[in-house]
Amino acid sequence: MAKTKKLVAKKPAPTVKKSHKSSDYDAKHITVLEGLEPVRKRPGMYIGNTASEGLHHLLWEVVDNGIDEAMAGFCTEIIVELLPKNQVRVADNGRGIPVGIHKATKKSALETVMTKLHAGGKFGEGGYKVSGGLHGVGVSVVNALSENLKAEVKRDGKLWEQEYKKGKPVKKVRPVGKAKDTGTIITFQPDAEIFTVLEYNWKTVLNHLRQQAYLTKGLTIKVVDSRESKDKKSYVFHFEGGIASYVRHLNHNVEAKHENTFYIEKQIDDTKVEVALQYTNEYKETLFGFANNIYNPEGGMHIAGFRTALTRTLNSYAKKKEIIKDAKDNLTGDDTKEGLTAVVSVKIKDPQFEGQTKAKLGNAEVKPIVDSVIAAALTSFLEEHPRDAENMIGKCLLAQRARVAARAARDTVLRKGALEGFTLPGKLADCSTRDAEKSELYIVEGDSAGGSAKQGRDRDFQAILPLRGKILNVERARLDKMLANNEIKSMLIAFGTNIGDQFDISKLRYGKIIIMTDADVDGSHIRTLLLTFFFRHLPELIKQGHLYIAQPPLYQVKKGQEIKYAYTESELTKITDEFAKAAKSKEKAKIEGKVEENLETEVNAAEAGVGETAEIGGVKLNIQRYKGLGEMNPSQLWETTMDPQTRTMMQVTINDVQAADETFDILMGSEVAPRKNFIQTHAKSVKNLDI
């Protein structure tokens, strides 16, 4: 029996006398952040983050004020100009922000709007019937997060002006000249103390403003790049066709299934519904939902109403024309998705979004309105365009047959896993941990790289799945054909999530899925094929941050026994320069008598392995270009690419769904011309091209 330790009672330690009186916690302990201070204190609460996304959000907020004026019928033109020193100027020809004295604040309405949260024309009656902003924080947040901001208002025959620094007014609102027309001009400079990224991306700005122009029929948006060291360039967006033009733009790289684009615009009470759709020969669905010009990535009631009406109307027409003769052959919602490109835009008086990000529209009353508008208009469209109707329903019936075949193929994949006692693919070298959050799956190219990775990994938490050859290009294949591909089947069984309507992310076996391919043309192609597969069929893995791309080194630089790795061309230059400088320092020390022996060692190619010996700055270095992961021994692969302490990985994210969708269309779609144009445009910017 173990000995027990005798417990000796100790004199209690002195205690600090605590008071439980409520008077010890009073008003003086409450911190109140006045005006715009909370925005500067917690900017992420208002704009998402302080990186590129948040920076661009400032511009969207200012532009939205002009678009609100346009939706109200008072603005026909918005000019956005990118200026030197990361400044931006946004001008509209709307009514101009009121400048009179506000009764509650006793200050100019302009100053109130610019310096107070939840102040604006979007509350109560008489301001805007329809607007994108709900909370009245838009332009005041921009002011708070700007180093400098100048507001100019053309109104009542005068040009009014007020300047601000970090949200605080420098002077009172005052007239500085005359004005013939009306409008508002906001010029701002994002605060370098707040943002980690300060330069606006020209392509991001263009894509967003083009989209807004499509959604606001008849509005002209001019975009000008006047920044230093940039070629001055400009674009003008104006679409009388509205979202019908938008659908045609989305389909410009693919073959349409029918000639006429379905389009309807109708107002019912305070709700305006605008919908356009067209089917293509593709297998994916492209569907965008907007409420008051705000993109809703998770859809909502307007999308639910659209889907219900589309499926019901196509079934009704097909039965009427005896294309479908039995109820069991009715099209499902999934059947009507394949190849569909559609934009659903609603403008409503009081939108209710789920969350500040406005990802989903929650207004239940919108669903039956959209449903009835679509049902009536689409029925007329199908009757008036019988050939288009036949092609649309034919596309859906083809998708239906593929769905049935895909279900059988998917069941076969799952049944195979079950019959083998949930045995994972034979070529998978699994990890020992069953904790999904800690485990990692490396998808590697070929048996050679797979062998190095299996030997070099940490077996506790790292699994390796080698792929033999290139997987199927899923951009050009239906689910049934895709599931017949052995490499895709192996991945799906390894992931454990299933696919399609049976996808369940809670069953994911690995917290990180890492694509690790060679740094050559074939490796890039395989990586693109894999990214296409994840984007089209397992997008939730990307959205929830589970997909990564490994970054193996491009070069090994060896001098004597000293080895360094370079992951980019610039790093290679930096490393060779460091070796040269170190050699010069030693030579100088030797001359001065501080070093007796010559420490520099000549390295030849035989000693360094396969590589190229070069003399740089008087130093002989062996520089090896890695074209394949198999060229690295297991310890090198672990040290450079797989060790969590030293590796570099890129996380795959989707910042712009439309841009990503279009890029995959170009790179992996069936149309050759757009891909040829893409290659010609970007050919000169490609580095390390191995042919």
- 3-class secondary structure per residue, 126-141: CCCCCCCCCCCCHHHH
Domain boundary, last residue among 582, 609, 625: 625
Indicate the pairing of strand 555-559 with strand 233-238. Answer: unpaired
Residues 76 and 217 in one domain: yes
Rounded (10°) angle between helices 386-419 and 366-384: 120
Whether residue 124 has pLDDT greater than 50:
no
Percent of the chain surpassing pLDDT 70 = 83
Domain boundary, last residue among 194, 209, 238: 238
Mean pLDDT to the nearest integer, 564-573? 86
The number of folded domains in the chain is 4
Query: 581 in a domain, yes or no?
Result: yes
Question: What pLDDT band is residue 587 in, cutting at 50, 70 and 90?
Answer: low
Greater pLDDT, 666 or 393? 393
pLDDT, tens digit (0-9, with 9 covering 90-100), for 1-27 = 443 333 333 444 444 444 444 444 344
pLDDT at 683: 66
Which residue is listed with tokens 């890029």?
A: 663
pLDDT at 687: 57
pLDDT, tens digit (0-9, with 9 covering 90-100), for 632-657 = 889 999 999 999 998 989 999 987 77
Whether residue 682 has pLDDT greater than 90:
no
Residues 161 and 204 in one domain: yes
Query: 413 in a domain, yes or no?
Result: no
CB atoms within 10 A of CB 210: 18
Domain harbouring 80, CATH code: 3.30.565.10
Residues 229 and 136 in one domain: yes
Residues 493 and 466 in one domain: yes
pLDDT, tens digit (0-9, with 9 covering 90-100), for 477-500 = 877 788 888 899 889 889 988 887
Query: 530 in a domain, yes or no?
Result: yes
Residues 107 and 234 in one domain: yes
Tell me the average pLDDT of the chain: 84
Domain harbouring 657, CATH code: 3.40.50.670
Distance (Å) of CA 407 to CA 317, 401, 424, 484: 26, 10, 21, 12
Whether residue 32 has pLDDT greater than 50:
no
Q: Which region among 112-116, 345-349, 570-574, 675-679 has the lowest average model confidence (pLDDT)?
A: 675-679
Domain boundary, last residue among 238, 259, 283: 238
pLDDT at 415: 56
Calpha distance 23→11 (Å, rounded): 33
Helix (H) or strand (E) holding 579: helix 569-591
Residues 525 and 590 in one domain: no
pLDDT at 229: 65
Query: 3 in a domain, yes or no?
Result: no
Q: Is 500 exposed, middle or buried (0-12, 13-18, 19+ CB in 10 A)?
A: middle
Residues 219 and 327 in one domain: no
Record the pTM. 0.71
Query: 97 in a domain, yes or no?
Result: yes
pLDDT, tens digit (0-9, with 9 covering 90-100), for 254-284 = 889 999 999 999 999 989 999 999 999 988 8
Q: Which region among 160-174, 608-622, 633-647 has the lowest average model confidence (pLDDT)?
A: 608-622
Calpha distance 410→406 (Å, rounded): 6
Greater pLDDT, 462 or 231? 462
Question: What pLDDT band is residue 592 in, cutting at 50, 70 and 90?
Answer: low
pLDDT at 14: 43
Residues 519 and 439 in one domain: yes
pLDDT at 118: 65
Q: Rounded to the nearest 5°, which phi and psi values hold at 690?
A: -100, 125
pLDDT, tens digit (0-9, with 9 covering 90-100), for 222-240 = 999 999 766 788 999 999 9
Residues 152 and 95 in one domain: yes
CB neighbours of 507 closer than 8 A, spacing ≥ 6? 496, 497, 498
The residues carrying an active-site annotation are 445, 518, 520, 522
pLDDT at 477: 82
Percent of the chain surpassing pLDDT 90 = 51
Q: Rounded to the nearest 5°, which phi and psi values hold at 389?
A: -60, -45
Residues 180 and 274 in one domain: no
Specify the long-range contacts of residues 46-55, CB closer than 8 Å, at least 24 apart: 46/137, 46/141, 47/141, 47/145, 48/357, 50/194, 50/195, 50/196, 51/195, 51/196, 51/197, 52/197, 52/201, 52/204, 53/655, 54/195, 55/190, 55/195, 55/197, 55/198, 55/200
Mean pLDDT to the nearest integer, 346-351? 90
Greater pLDDT, 12 or 476? 476
Q: Is 78 exposed, middle or buried (0-12, 13-18, 19+ CB in 10 A)?
A: buried
23 CA to centre of own chain: 51
Residues 488 and 559 in one domain: no
Query: 590 in a domain, yes or no?
Result: yes
Distance (Å) of CA 436 to CA 414, 418, 426, 433: 20, 20, 20, 8
Helix (H) or strand (E) holding 222: strand 220-225
Query: 644 in a domain, yes or no?
Result: no
Query: 632 in a domain, yes or no?
Result: no
pLDDT at 19: 42
Residues 365 and 453 in one domain: no
Q: Which region among 274-283, 573-582, 682-691 has the lowest average model confidence (pLDDT)?
A: 682-691
**Domain, as residue range, for 450:** 429-552+651-680
pLDDT, tens digit (0-9, with 9 covering 90-100), for 390-445 = 999 999 999 998 888 877 776 766 555 543 444 567 789 999 999 999 999 999 98
Question: What pLDDT band is residue 627 in, cutting at 50, 70 and 90?
Answer: confident
